Chain A
Amino acid sequence: MAKVPDELTRARVTGAGTLRTEEMILNVGPQHPATHGVLRVIVTLDGERIVEGEPVIGYMHRGHEKLVEQRDFRQITNLLSRMDWLSGINNEIPASIAVEKLMELEVPPRAQYLRVILAEINRILNHLMFTGSFGLELGASTPVMYAFRERELLQEAMEMVTGGRMHFGFIRPGGLKEDVPRGFVETVLKGIRQLIKYIPDYENLLLGNEIFKQRTVDVGILDPDLALEYGVSGPILRGSGVPYDVRRADPYLIYDEFDFDIPVGAKGDAFDRFWVLIQEMRESARIIEQALEGLPAGSHLGQVPKRLTLPEGEIYSRAENPLGELGYYLISNGEAKPYRMKIRTPSFSNVSVVPHLLRGIYVPDMIAILGSMFFVVGDIDR
């Protein structure tokens, strides 16, 4: 019951002539418990139905693209993790890959494997966060606590390696900053096993719940053509049935060596997107297990010159961020600092399709749709 034809939204009341209903403009303001961060949606309401919804972004613009023009790559790596703070390492990887491709640096295999492991751990962390918060927005306050419990073990693994729990600053052009300590493999395996044990809980508590299904099935159906037009990517695109994943389409790191499936939804409603999110966690766990088994001995950093002066040139490197396709277009004019770095973030494109989804729906559905669009405001605004 998501869309009702416009004729039915205005009523003719007998004995009172035609009621003139006024449209009310509601500001789902930048400070709001339901939107993840400072996203403002200006909603035009007609009674209970939304006539038009317009997201206003920019409340968190920090000028990343300008900041990186003044810094060298070690500093840039640390700044870039602050864009999409839930994805951690995945923000840093395409930047390093860009530099490595420009300078033709070789990355030792151990570093590649470790990068894949860290990236997939961060993917799981990100997806767990969204699993929890989506349930919370719909009123189920327990899955979020379970999700954070799962996150703890994996964050422990990340802290053991990098020293941080959210912003890592660990990827360097040529490999990693340091090698992993003893006990890392066991901690990660423990975290993965606990995750696999508890994923059926999320499926039963959320996906299998009839009330949840009533709230999300056939809500916010995203047409795959529309999605491709707007450049939507990631689990949202895959929820609409388009099997596009940068790890398959344009493999970076060593993803072509691993065996994993890409979960794809059928209809494009909020339920499908959420289902894709949970299945992706399973696939990431598979990749991590394979990577841990095949982890070679070796060095963590390749042969990297003392000063990283980039040759002149430009390159676009992209990766599959947990939220979608993250791309860095790097233009260098021969110095250590980039001349220009254009950042293509997934959340920006994902949110730009929201006005189409908000037409003609109820207000509580807006909350469900915004929750299912999986965006991080830092990623939209940079």
Chain B
Amino acid sequence: MAKTEIVKLDIDQTPLREIKKTTLGTGLIKGLGITMRHLLSRSVTIQYPDEKDVLPARSRGVIALKEENCTVCMLCARECPDWCIYIEGHKESRQPAQEGKRAKKYNVLDRFAIDYALCMYCGICVEVCPYDALFWTPEYEYAEHDITHLTHEMDRLSDWMYTVLPPDELDPAATGPEFKTLPQRTAPAVAPAPAADGEQPTAAGEVAAPKNDQGEPSAPAAAPEQEAKVTEEAAVAIDTDVATGEAAPQEEAPEPEKEAPTPSEPQAEATAVSEEEAEEIGRKVYEEEIGKGSDPRVAEGRRKAAVLRARKGTRGPGG
């Protein structure tokens, strides 16, 4: 075998040679110093389950199903690499609007189950759903003793919806994905102008709600939100097969969003409340729900939803 030519480079080998030299015990002493330093500093442990880490909104904990949006198109079941989504549905007919017209057929969802023992948490189903019926939530505490209980049926999947967090704001420099039919938007060069925004601490805007319920809404975020909002709108309008920029937000968001993308003034200050009042409302809702006999997770989810609504000043379904 021919000897390979090792190209001589100007790489400085002195650090390597220095550190490789035999020393007489100074390395040992330095090592002791490092461990002593750590011994005297505070530990970084988070004591689970008494303390829990706050996970980002995109965390892939468990998948939640929004039944109302599902049209049994079966795209998620088809795209799943593990085939762990089990969907059953049937067709029903609707009365025609006028006499003599054909009866419209629509799909009804009978069974929607995800087998989390098989699921590889890739998120393709969430990404591919054209009607935004699937969402990621950061919940991870659903371990079971029996593996068959790891198949979550429709009711359980719907319950998970109460734990879905609104998506994080995008980086200000982000614009949406490139679409052939839309003129390309550019990122804002300057921080948002409307002075009104700075004076409204609670009008956090429609799309980019705070990272978690306890986080402060960020005030100077109106303009990038507008951009994200615009591309969102456009994305929703366009072919939904292509991957969109971000997961769709919760149900309240589309209504205020459909209005013109103006600064958030005319929106919601009428009913937007302060932080403490929002928390108070949330507490009341929670107690109400528990009083009615709901599951504590459901009550928690409704509490969070009520707090968010109160903060933004939007109305919930049914007022």
Are A and B in contact, CB atoms below 8 Å, in the complex? yes
Chain A interface residues toward B at CB < 8 A: 71, 74-75, 78-79, 82, 108, 110, 142, 146, 149, 152, 156, 159-164, 167, 169, 172, 175, 177-185, 201, 203-205, 207-211, 213, 217, 224-225, 228-229, 241-243, 261-266, 271-272, 275, 279, 295-304, 306
Report the nearest B residue to A271, measured CB to CB. B20
CB < 8 Å A-B pair total:
174
- Over the window 7-43 of chain B, the binary record of Cβ atoms lying under 8 Å from chain A Cβ atoms (1 yes, 0 no) is 1010101011101101111111011001100100000
Docked Cα-Cα span, A105 to B170, in Å, equals 25
Checking A108, A181, A217, A243 against B11 with a beta-carbon cut-off of 8 angstroms, the contacting residue is: A243
Chain B interface residues toward A at CB < 8 A: 1, 3-4, 6-7, 9, 11, 13, 15-17, 19-20, 22-28, 30-31, 34-35, 38, 44, 55-60, 79, 81, 120-124, 127, 136, 167-180, 184, 186-187, 211, 218, 221, 239, 241-243, 245-246
Docked Cα-Cα span, A204 to B239, in Å, equals 57
Asked whether, in the complex, the Cβ of A180 is within 8 Å of the Cβ of B174, the reply is: yes
Q: Which of B121, B136, B241 has the most chain A CB atoms inside 10 A of its CB?
A: B121
**Given the known A-B contacts A175-B177, A205-B31, A210-B22, are A163 and B59 also in contact in the complex, defined by CB atoms under 8 Å?**
yes
Asked whether, in the complex, the Cβ of A210 is within 8 Å of the Cβ of B16, the reply is: no
Name the A residues within 8 Å of B20 (CB-CB): 213, 217, 271, 275
Checking B3, B4, B168 against A160 with a beta-carbon cut-off of 8 angstroms, the contacting residue is: B168
Asked whether, in the complex, the Cβ of B245 is within 8 Å of the Cβ of A297, the reply is: no
Asked whether, in the complex, the Cβ of B245 is within 8 Å of the Cβ of A163, the reply is: no
Name the A residues within 8 Å of B243 (CB-CB): 172, 177-178, 301
29 contacts across the A-B interface (CB closer than 8 A): A75-B81, A75-B122, A78-B81, A159-B59, A160-B58, A177-B243, A180-B174, A181-B168, A181-B169, A181-B170, A182-B170, A182-B218, A204-B27, A204-B31, A204-B34, A205-B30, A208-B26, A208-B27, A210-B22, A210-B24, A228-B4, A243-B7, A243-B9, A266-B13, A298-B187, A299-B174, A299-B177, A303-B178, A303-B180
- Distance in angstroms from B92 CB to nearest chain A CB is 30
- Distance in angstroms from A273 CB to nearest chain B CB is 11
- Distance in angstroms from A260 CB to nearest chain B CB is 12
Name the A residues within 8 Å of B23 (CB-CB): 208, 210
Name the B residues within 8 Å of A300 (CB-CB): 174, 177, 245
Asked whether, in the complex, the Cβ of B34 is within 8 Å of the Cβ of A211, the reply is: no
